[in-house]
Amino acid sequence: MTDSKYFTTTKKGEIFELKAELNSDKKEKKKEAVKKVIASMTVGKDVSALFPDVVNCMQTDNLELKKLVYLYLMNYAKSQPDMAIMAVNTFVKDCEDPNPLIRALAVRTMGCIRVDKITEYLCEPLRKCLKDEDPYVRKTAAVCVAKLHDINAQLVEDQGFLDTLKDLISDSNPMVVANAVAALSEIAESHPSSNLLDLNPQSINKLLTALNECTEWGQIFILDCLANYTPKDDREAQSICERVTPRLSHANSAVVLSAVKVLMKFMEMLSKDLDYYGTLLKKLAPPLVTLLSAEPELQYVALRNINLIVQKRPEILKHEMKVFFVKYNDPIYVKLEKLDIMIRLASQANIAQVLAELKEYATEVDVDFVRKAVRAIGRCAIKVEQSAERCVSTLLDLIQTKVNYVVQEAIVVIKDIFRKYPNKYESVIATLCENLDSLDEPEARAAMIWIVGEYAERIDNADELLESFLEGFHDESTQVQLQLLTGIVKLFLKKPTETQELVQQVLSLATQDSDNPDLRDRGYIYWRLLSTDPVAAKEVVLAEKPLISEETDLIEPTLLDELICYIGTLASVYHKPPMSGPPLTTSSVQMGAVDLLGGGLDSLIGGTNFVAPPTAAVPASLGAPIGSGLSDLFDLTSGVGTLSGSYVAPKAVWLPAMKAKGLEISGTFTRQVGSISMDLQLTNKALQVMTDFAIQFNRNSFGLAPAAPLQVHAPLSPNQTVEISLPLSTVGSVMKMEPLNNLQVAVKNNIDVFYFSTLYPLHILFVEDGKMDRQMFLATWKDIPNENEAQFQIRDCPLNAEAVSSKLQSSNIFTVAKRNVEGQDMLYQSLKLTNGIWVLAELRIQPGNPSCTVRAPAPTLRPWSLPFVPCQGVVLVEDAVQASLQAWLEPESVRSLKRTFLESFHIHPVRLPR
């Protein structure tokens, strides 16, 4: 008898047939019927109509039948919660069954039925099962606590199940311990603050003991749990390492990798001089190598992890180069990963061997792989200086093959080699030029043009070569166009006499006929530069370029450290830390000046539970969001009786450590008794000491500038945090920013200069003498034409007029007059910004109605009416040019920030005040 007949197509009466069979007296027939129902369920047929009939079969002493019914229940209980209640009695009864298998089955299934109603019935049976005499029941009950917690966390806490679970960690049965650890870890994740898994030397000791006894899967739970523990000193770290090391030879690769993770993490704490440190290093290599003989899927995951380990501690695998040689029958994703690791391990000692391999790979059939192999040769040249010459000659050999994609790839990497070793290998340019016609990929064309432009003085027919590219200028990709523009300008600066026409041509192509802003901007910059001061142009365009290094391929140290903690997890396969959001870009901030009136005032008056309007929503990491920040004004100021202590937003991270080589900056803005300050918190998350801090602001809308230098008194050692309050003045130079309250900041330390931008809350700019004279208010109010008014409603503002007035006053928004019209309170408000601009508003509050209306004439706050300090046009042009030229040589993040300088210059020309 086979199950295959269960898969026949549904006929009309099938459900009825099954119904009849389910209600049959014969046990065998019932069983077969339930099996049929389950088979139908698997292929996606709806058999929920049979729910009552199947539940009727539950009352049986046949374990096989019972299991089948439970299986059905689990699937359909959610869609039929009322029916599921019918089954509860049987569940409760089964939890008392003399057979431990049935007790466990009942408690397991009950937890899987994710129906809220059922949970209250679950508690008593679960409590009993957690203390059951049979370990099989106890281990099932331990997991059930996690299930119940997911459905109703409060219930689990109220019923005291967590304490019972903690007791199970000391259970005599290792399976129970493992499940209890797993359940607790999961519950602890949803309560980060709770001390559920209290790891201390005693509990660690228990876990280490259980480690030797439990199943391989339990060992993984325990090892992962150990990895979260921080030993109190190096002695403890060493003793844990000693007890974990035997796991390295386990047959289950997951156990091995979890052990590797624990060891890699605790090794940080051991002194490198220790004998044990060296021993441990030696022990790590063999298990990693063994992983490479597994199936390709496991190999791939192992290689991704090894890639991280090799970057962190290259010494572990430095002698194992051979195991990363590519096998011809490896899947392509394994091959590419191996190639990457080979480069990371390449050193002077083994470079000959590596190069010989790479050259072989470059002649294989698979195009993707061949390209990567050629690229790898270039990376070798950049990484190991002694090998550069050999790499170049290998690449030349490959170019001789005339295979199109090999040639193109080789030219791209040779460009990088030129960048790394200028004036060394230019003799090969002639060979490269021979292949000019065969290049059809943008990257290769751009690389070739770069080479021609850079070495224009050594190439006799450079102008002809570049001119030939110019013919199809509009069909080229942006990359090639930009390179061509720069290349021809370089050529012109080197051979001005013959190429004047050419440069004119490319400049006009770039500026007049192109709608690509990047290209156009670059074209204009060159044009103005060349026409203003050719000598300066030469200095800028032909300036010495910074050398490239192989570091560009490495993962940043702070990120790497973070990823090392995730060894053996999915994050290590993606090489991304879990839960990392979209990359932070400064251009993502969108908040117009209008929001000052809309979002800003709106929330200023709104209740504390006011939700900032979407326009004012700013990624929290980019600074204190103006909307939600102001909405909290009421809360903080009403209780505190300070004279002018305005609301302070909590500190937000402005500069994440990942972006600033380990320096993390978070901060907020405050206004206290007439003075503005920026409260900064600097944290050193790098491994080296930081000194020589300095800070600078870019010009901004309100002329904010540091009033004192950034004073960090002592050098900032690793993992240290320092809090600084930086007083600000508003006498700096002014430039309109987009959004208006955007502030671009540069922070320097001994390592580098970092840029970030943040938004400051505008209320720090409300000055104390912002109360306008009544007569003047009236006159001004009348003068403002109606069309300049903005009007909006604030909902959920349960305050009366006095409360609103006093709350606003504490943030320097003053009530000039108040009157009562037809039962409504009218408040007339004024405030003054640091640059002397007045803002007026009328508030209408209806008692009993929790919303109030704001009418604000806004002529004074249009962006273009901000007074700009007159500035020298020429100076600005030069600044912009320099900034942009540097930007091309720098990573994308900095570039985009700097581009905003440029755009603000080009798109919004400076207007002088009338």
Partner 1 sequence: MISQFFILSSKGDPLIYKDFRGDSGGRDVAELFYRKLTGLPGDESPVVMHHDGRHFIHIRHSSLYLVVTTSENVSPFSLLELLSRLATLLGDYCGSLGEGTISRNVALVYELLDEVLDYGYVQTTSTEMLRNFIQTEAVVSKPFSLFDLSSVGLFGAETQQSKVAPSSAASRPVLSSRSDQSQKNEVFLDVVERLSVLIASNGSLLKVDVQGEIRLKSFLPSGSEMRIGLTEEFCVGKSELRGYGPGIRVDEVSFHSSVNLDEFESHRILRLQPPQGELTVMRYQLSDDLPSPLPFRLFPSVQWDRGSGRLQVYLKLRCDLPSKSQALNVRLHLPLPRGVVSLSQELSSPEQKAELAEGALRWDLPRVQGGSQLSGLFQMDVPGPPGPPSHGLSTSAPPLGLGPASLSFELPRHTCSGLQVRFLRLAFRPCGNANPHKWVRHLSHSDAYVIRI
Residues between 163 and 192 that touch partner 1 (CB under 8 A): 175, 179, 182, 186
Q: Which of residues 130-169 bind partner 1 (CB under 8 A)?
A: 139-140, 143-144, 146-147, 150
* Shorter beta-carbon distance to partner 1: residue 287 or 662: 287
Q: CA of 849: how far to CAs of 387, 507, 601, 802, 803, in Å?
A: 80, 64, 19, 15, 15
Interface with partner 1: number of residues (CB under 8 A): 87
As measured in angstroms, the least distance from the Cβ of 39 to partner 1 is 5
CA angle 615, 621, 625 (to 5 degrees): 40
Q: Dig out the tokens for 607 from the structure.
A: 């209740």
As measured in angstroms, the least distance from the Cβ of 257 to partner 1 is 5
* Shorter beta-carbon distance to partner 1: residue 101 or 695: 101
Q: Which of residues 279-318 bind partner 1 (CB under 8 A)?
A: 286, 290, 293, 295-298, 300-302
Among 85, 86, 92, 112, interactor with partner 1 by CB under 8 A: 112
Q: Which of residues 375-414 bind partner 1 (CB under 8 A)?
A: 401, 403, 406
Per DSSP bridges, beta strands 663-672 and 675-684 are antiparallel
* Shorter beta-carbon distance to partner 1: residue 175 or 856: 175
Helices (H) and strands (E) in the chain, counts: 39, 13
Among 204, 241, 429, 571, interactor with partner 1 by CB under 8 A: 571
Stretch of residues binding partner 1 (CB under 8 A), selected from 214-222, 386-394, 478-486, 864-872: 214-222
As measured in angstroms, the least distance from the Cβ of 178 to partner 1 is 8
End-to-end CA distance of the chain: 97
Per DSSP bridges, beta strands 789-794 and 852-857 are antiparallel
* Shorter beta-carbon distance to partner 1: residue 91 or 526: 91
Stretch of residues binding partner 1 (CB under 8 A), selected from 265-273, 321-329, 447-455, 843-851: 321-329
Q: Which of residues 656-715 bind partner 1 (CB under 8 A)?
A: none
The edge-to-edge listing of strands for the beta sheet with 742-748 is 694-697, 742-748, 753-759
DSSP state of 425: S
Q: CA of 349: how far to CAs of 305, 310, 342, 420, 440, in Å?
A: 24, 16, 13, 21, 37
DSSP state of 603: H
78 binds partner 1 (CB under 8 A): yes
As measured in angstroms, the least distance from the Cβ of 87 to partner 1 is 17
Q: CA of 769: how far to CAs of 643, 644, 807, 830, 832, in Å?
A: 13, 12, 16, 10, 7
Stretch of residues binding partner 1 (CB under 8 A), selected from 191-199, 329-337, 439-447, 718-726: 329-337
The residue whose two tokens read 């910004």 is 833
Provide the greatest CA pair distance for the chain. 106
Q: Dig out the tokens for 429 from the structure.
A: 């340019």
Among 332, 542, 753, 874, interactor with partner 1 by CB under 8 A: 332
The single-letter code of the amino acid at 225 is C
Among 26, 322, 795, 911, interactor with partner 1 by CB under 8 A: 322
Tell me if residue 219 falls in helix, strand or coil. Answer: helix
As measured in angstroms, the least distance from the Cβ of 108 to partner 1 is 6
CB 196 within 8 A of CB 228: no
Q: Dig out the tokens for 599 from the structure.
A: 């979002």
As measured in angstroms, the least distance from the Cβ of 620 to partner 1 is 20
Q: How many CB atoms are closer than 10 A to CB 622? A: 20
Stretch of residues binding partner 1 (CB under 8 A), selected from 62-70, 530-538, 777-785, 851-859: 62-70
Contacts 24+ apart (CB under 8 A), 829-832: 830/770, 830/771, 830/772, 830/777, 831/766, 831/770, 832/766, 832/767, 832/769, 832/770, 832/772
Distance of CA 877 to the CA centre of its chain: 35
* Shorter beta-carbon distance to partner 1: residue 379 or 899: 379
* Shorter beta-carbon distance to partner 1: residue 286 or 727: 286
CA distance 344 to 340: 6
* Shorter beta-carbon distance to partner 1: residue 20 or 332: 332
Stretch of residues binding partner 1 (CB under 8 A), selected from 164-172, 216-224, 467-475, 659-667: 216-224
* Shorter beta-carbon distance to partner 1: residue 398 or 740: 398
Is 539 exposed, middle or buried, given 0-12, 13-18 or 19+ CB atoms closer than 10 A?
exposed
As measured in angstroms, the least distance from the Cβ of 420 to partner 1 is 26
Among 27, 67, 166, 283, interactor with partner 1 by CB under 8 A: 67
Q: Dig out the tokens for 84 from the structure.
A: 């599921």
Among 19, 30, 103, 108, interactor with partner 1 by CB under 8 A: 108
* Shorter beta-carbon distance to partner 1: residue 403 or 548: 403
46 binds partner 1 (CB under 8 A): no
The single-letter code of the amino acid at 606 is G
Signed CA dihedral, 535, 541, 544, 546: sign only: positive
Letters for 225-264 (x = contact with partner 1 by CB under 8 A, - = none) are ------------------------xxxxxx-xxx------
CA distance 175 to 172: 9
As measured in angstroms, the least distance from the Cβ of 447 to partner 1 is 21
The residue whose two tokens read 């005599």 is 172
HEC string of 56-84 equals HCCCCCCHHHHHHHHHHHHHHCCCCHHHH
Stretch of residues binding partner 1 (CB under 8 A), selected from 64-72, 554-562, 654-662, 850-858: 64-72
As measured in angstroms, the least distance from the Cβ of 403 to partner 1 is 5
* Shorter beta-carbon distance to partner 1: residue 374 or 485: 374
CB 713 within 8 A of CB 697: no
Among 221, 469, 524, 526, interactor with partner 1 by CB under 8 A: 221
* Shorter beta-carbon distance to partner 1: residue 254 or 871: 254
* Shorter beta-carbon distance to partner 1: residue 112 or 877: 112
Q: Which of residues 16-45 bind partner 1 (CB under 8 A)?
A: 35, 38-39, 42-44
CA distance 13 to 22: 14
CA distance 260 to 277: 14
Q: Dig out the tokens for 755 from the structure.
A: 């840029």
* Shorter beta-carbon distance to partner 1: residue 104 or 799: 104
Stretch of residues binding partner 1 (CB under 8 A), selected from 210-218, 308-316, 523-531, 900-908: 210-218
Among 568, 625, 629, 732, interactor with partner 1 by CB under 8 A: 568
Q: Which of residues 614-643 bind partner 1 (CB under 8 A)?
A: none
9 binds partner 1 (CB under 8 A): no
* Shorter beta-carbon distance to partner 1: residue 327 or 458: 327
Beta bridge partners of 667: 652, 680
Signed CA dihedral, 901, 904, 906, 910: sign only: negative
As measured in angstroms, the least distance from the Cβ of 25 to partner 1 is 21
As measured in angstroms, the least distance from the Cβ of 35 to partner 1 is 5
Q: Which of residues 334-353 bind partner 1 (CB under 8 A)?
A: 336
Look at residues 188, 166, 193 and name the one whose alpha carbon lies nearest to residue 177.
Answer: 166
As measured in angstroms, the least distance from the Cβ of 236 to partner 1 is 25
**Residues in Cβ contact with 19 at an 8 Å cutoff, skipping those fewer than 6 apart:** 50, 53
The single-letter code of the amino acid at 393 is S
* Shorter beta-carbon distance to partner 1: residue 102 or 414: 102
Look at residues 113, 21, 122 and name the one whose alpha carbon lies nearest to residue 76.
Answer: 113
Q: How many CB atoms are closer than 10 A to CB 411? A: 26
Among 17, 64, 434, 890, interactor with partner 1 by CB under 8 A: 64
360 binds partner 1 (CB under 8 A): yes
Signed CA dihedral, 706, 709, 713, 717: sign only: positive
* Shorter beta-carbon distance to partner 1: residue 316 or 484: 316
Q: Which of residues 576-595 bind partner 1 (CB under 8 A)?
A: 578
